[in-house]
Homo-oligomer: A and B are copies of this chain.
Amino acid sequence: MKSIAERLRQQINFIIEIDKVKHIFRKTKLFNKSRFENDAEHAWHLAIMALALGEYANEEIDVSKVIKMVLIHDIVEIDAGDTIVYDSKSRALAWEEEKKAAERIFGILPADQKEEFIALWQEFEEKKSPEAKFAAAIDRFQPILQNYLTDYYAWQAHGITYDQLYSINEHIGEGSETIWALAQKIFDEAKGERAVEE
């Protein structure tokens, strides 16, 4: 494509770059257990969850902002890869890599949009605003639902304990008490079925 304006070219290059998100696989399986989920599918699912479950946020939220956050939150994994939340050491290392990745990937966009996308991503990562707390809650709840519907596949494969489920996911309650209550019901069922160790 010759003779296209520089700004539009940068935007198209960004749209091309992020196709790679469709090749980043997560640790959890699709509900029908046929294969692992990729980051693009995950982000899409979260965006619809924000639409459908937004009413359960503890605080008043701008659902459209939550949607934008979840849509872009995993783009950094193009460079940094997916790490399981239960592995605290990998998560700490990942954070440094993700900051570099955000600079590179969002930096493909024109400067004003780079700034906008990075601000949105940082707000999500900081988990402080009502929108970021709710986005974090559904980001954690979706794999819990996936585990529930796939015979607890990822929890079993990675030997996750009942205590870990509680400590790592507790912050769901900061975004939504209702969703956290539902998550706890799932943890208790998993314990009852001896799918996770105490």
Give the CA-CA distance A51 to B52 in the complex, in Å: 21
Asked if A164 lies at the interface with its beta carbon under 8 angstroms from chain B, I say no
Of residues 117 through 140 on chain A, the ones whose CB sits less than 8 Å from some CB of chain B are: 117
Given A30-B19, A41-B41: A189 and B145 interface contact (C-beta under 8 Å): no
**SS of A interface (majority):** helix
Of residues 15 through 61 on chain A, the ones whose CB sits less than 8 Å from some CB of chain B are: 15-16, 18-23, 30-32, 34, 37-38, 40-41, 43-45, 47-49, 51-53, 56
Q: How far is the CB of A33 from chain B (nearest CB, A)?
A: 11
Across the interface, do B37 and A30 meet the contact criterion of CB distance under 8 Å?
no
Q: How far is the CB of A141 from chain B (nearest CB, A)?
A: 10
Please pick, from B4, B11, B43, the residue contacting A52 in the complex, using a CB distance under 8 A: B11
Give the CA-CA distance A1 to B21 in the complex, in Å: 32
Across the interface, do A22 and B18 meet the contact criterion of CB distance under 8 Å?
no
- Residues of chain A whose beta carbon lies under 8 Å from any beta carbon of chain B: 1-4, 8, 11-12, 14-16, 18-23, 30-32, 34, 37-38, 40-41, 43-45, 47-49, 51-53, 56, 64, 67-68, 71-72, 109, 113, 117, 145, 148-149, 178, 182, 185-186, 189
Given contacts A1-B186, A40-B45, 19 further A-B contacts (CB under 8 A): A4-B185, A11-B52, A12-B145, A15-B52, A18-B45, A20-B32, A23-B32, A38-B41, A40-B44, A41-B41, A41-B44, A44-B44, A44-B71, A51-B68, A52-B109, A64-B68, A67-B67, A67-B68, A67-B71
